[in-house]
């Protein structure tokens, strides 16, 4: 009997100390989309070999429906404390093959992280949590601890909110119009643990992780003519994942300076961002002989302007991402500085959503149409009209070419593709607002494929490319 009373008393104490938890408010937000697409060709390779004077296998078209539910749930314990969570569910093609083990083609789908999640592709086809972190506003500032969106700063350019989240500790502190940010992210952990067997030799050594340290500041400004914000972020990535291996044994110390500005001047919205990457791509350890250290010097610049004149809008975007000079073996000048995963300026070219659902749209050799934008000069002009409050129509014309011609690995290390043009794309989209929470989008895009995607071109090999087009429609519910 004494034991029973002891148990009941213990339960009572637990209940008493947990009363505040019963008062938790729950805030739910979600986005669900169901979409369908038709892509005329899954490769811009024409399928014709001029040298042999014969047709290769013609690349097929593809058409399918797909969907995703992304839901955020915030558990609000008090006005200054909450637990933030987010998960993706039922992310799949209607009636299509699943990931490896479920009729899919890639064994890595079952084990490796999806490109846009903290879970694998197999988990996202059912349910996978991406974000779980504590958000606490203390008298000394705001703290965020846990798995959060990673590599998000300034404008959409270079951002990776649609990429893999990371375990982070963030601190934010406001001083009037200014805000200070200090952050740490554990990008890769190769420590010995109960689940580290797949990391092989790294798990039996110390200091084999990738850690990222961030320091930033934001300033908000407002006058009678202009309002906006400006900021700068300094990032230091210490990558020790290649230390101690017999085949490389080097450290990477990468620094990024990332300033941006966003402003609204009358009817015109302006934004700009730049990223300068520098440091050591490969700094070989003392006992390694015969290897040359490799440094980094890469630049990315983004400009965007949109003017709103009632029912009409006009705008444009420009981007520069430095390419690598393959004649210089001691410096990396491009390739690592991409435009990120969140900015999809075209329906086909550089479109990461298309890459995720369709896969790589290939040219010859290793060229891919819908990879992340890198090594590029890019320009786009836009014009839109809103004939009714519910309907928004936008026409965009884009052109891109390589800053440096891409490497041709099938001839020799310093050879490049003969062509450097990515192509010209014309996109027409219409978005209709059915209700405040439900929208329907229809888009058509046509790519005039550039000669970069001819890939290798030895003497006598007359490779040919072809244009491509896409039709996509998408129903999106948000609340």
pLDDT digits (tens, 9 = 90+) for 132-179: 999 999 999 999 999 999 999 999 999 999 999 999 999 999 999 999
CA distance 311 to 315: 14
pLDDT (average), residues 422-428 = 98
Has residue 110 got a pLDDT over 50? no
Q: Per residue, what are the HEC states of 271-318?
A: EEEEEEEEEEEEEECCCCCCCCCEEEEEEEEEEEEEEEECCEEEEEEE
| Continuous segment of H or E residues that includes residue 383 | strand 376-388
pTM flag (> 0.85): yes
> Which candidate, 377, 410, 409, 398, places its Cα nearest to that of 449?
398
Tokens at 414, concatenated: 């310093």
- Express each pLDDT in 378-392 by its tens digit: 999 999 999 999 999
Q: Which residue has the higher pLDDT, 327 or 18?
A: 327
pLDDT (average), residues 315-333 = 92
Q: Which residue has the higher pLDDT, 468 or 292?
A: 468
Cα 401 to Cα 26, 319, 361, distances in angstroms:
49, 11, 17
pLDDT at 243: 85
Cα 429 to Cα 254, 303, 391, 447, distances in angstroms:
39, 22, 11, 15
Q: Which of 16-20, 264-268, 282-286 has the lowest mean pLDDT?
A: 16-20
Has residue 3 got a pLDDT over 50? no
pLDDT at 2: 47
Q: Provide the pLDDT confidence category of residue 212 given band limits of 50, 70 and 90.
A: very high
pLDDT at 14: 40
Q: Provide the pLDDT confidence category of residue 285 given band limits of 50, 70 and 90.
A: confident
pLDDT at 30: 98
CA distance 144 to 164: 17
Has residue 333 got a pLDDT over 60? yes
What average pLDDT does the chain have? 87
pLDDT at 470: 99
pLDDT at 13: 37
Tokens at 257, concatenated: 């300076």
Q: Are 249 and 264 in contact (CB under 8 A)?
A: no
Has residue 121 got a pLDDT over 80? no
Q: Provide the pLDDT confidence category of residue 213 given band limits of 50, 70 and 90.
A: very high
Has residue 244 got a pLDDT over 90? no
Q: Which of 23-32, 116-125, 322-331, 366-375 has the lowest mean pLDDT?
A: 116-125
- Express each pLDDT in 301-314 by its tens digit: 999 999 999 999 99
pLDDT at 17: 39
pLDDT (average), residues 201-223 = 88
- Express each pLDDT in 345-354 by its tens digit: 999 999 999 9
Please report, rounded to a whole number, the percentage of residues in the chain having pLDDT higher than 70: 82
Q: Please tell me whether residue 348 adopts helix, strand or coil conformation.
A: coil
Q: Provide the pLDDT confidence category of residue 195 given band limits of 50, 70 and 90.
A: confident
Q: 80's torsion region: left (phi>0), alpha (psi -120 to 50) or beta? A: alpha
pLDDT at 462: 61
pLDDT at 5: 45
pLDDT (average), residues 199-203 = 57
pLDDT at 124: 75
């Amino acid at each position: 009997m004494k034991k029973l009373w002891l148990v009941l008393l213990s339960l009572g104490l637990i209940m008493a100390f947990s009363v505040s938890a019963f008062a938790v408010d729950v805030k739910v937000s979600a986005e669900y989309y169901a979409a369908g697409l038709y892509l005329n060709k899954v490769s811009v390779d024409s399928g014709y070999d001029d040298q042999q004077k014969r047709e290769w296998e013609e690349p097929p078209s593809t058409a399918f429906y797909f969907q995703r539910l992304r839901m955020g749930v915030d558990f609000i314990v008090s006005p200054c404390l909450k637990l933030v969570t987010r998960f993706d569910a039922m992310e799949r093609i209607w009636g299509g093959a699943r990931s490896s083990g479920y009729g899919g083609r890639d064994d890595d789908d079952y084990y490796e992280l999806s490109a846009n999640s903290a879970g694998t592709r197999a988990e996202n086809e059912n349910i996978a949590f991406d974000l779980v972190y504590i958000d606490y506003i203390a008298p000394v500032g705001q703290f965020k601890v846990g798995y959060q969106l990673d590599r998000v700063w300034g404008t959409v350019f270079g951002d990776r909110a649609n990429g893999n989240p990371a375990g982070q500790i963030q601190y934010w502190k406001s001083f009037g119009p200014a805000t200070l940010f200090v952050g740490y992210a554990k990008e890769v952990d190769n420590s010995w643990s109960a689940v580290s067997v797949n990391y092989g030799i790294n798990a039996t050594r110390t200091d084999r992780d990738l850690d990222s340290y961030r320091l930033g500041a934001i300033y908000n400004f407002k006058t009678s003519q202009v309002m906006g914000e400006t900021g700068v972020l300094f990032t230091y990535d210490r990558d020790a994942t290649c230390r101690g291996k017999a085949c490389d044994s080097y450290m990477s110390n990468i620094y990024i300076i990332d300033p941006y500005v966003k402003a609204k001047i009358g009817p015109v919205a302006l934004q700009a961002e730049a990223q300068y990457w520098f440091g050591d791509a490969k700094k070989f350890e003392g006992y390694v002989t015969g290897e040359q250290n490799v440094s980094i010097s890469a630049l990315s610049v983004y400009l965007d302007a949109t003017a709103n004149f009632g029912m009409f809008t006009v705008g444009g975007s420009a981007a520069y991402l430095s390419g690598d000079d393959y004649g210089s073996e001691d410096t990396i000048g491009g390739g690592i500085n991409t435009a990120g995963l969140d900015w999809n300026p075209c329906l086909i070219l550089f479109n990461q959503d298309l890459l995720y659902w369709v896969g790589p749209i290939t040219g010859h050799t290793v060229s891919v149409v819908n990879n992340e934008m890198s090594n590029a000069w890019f320009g786009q002009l836009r014009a839109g009209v809103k004939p009714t409050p519910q309907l928004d129509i936008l026409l965009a014309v884009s052109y891109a070419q390589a800053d440096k011609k891409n490497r041709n690995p099938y001839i020799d290390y310093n050879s490049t593709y003969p062509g450097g043009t990515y192509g010209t794309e014309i996109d027409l989209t219409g978005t209709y607002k059915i209700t405040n929470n439900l929208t329907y989008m229809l888009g058509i895009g046509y790519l005039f494929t550039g000669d970069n995607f001819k890939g290798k071109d030895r003497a006598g090999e007359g490779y040919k490319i072809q244009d491509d087009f896409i039709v996509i429609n998408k129903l999106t519910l948000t609340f």
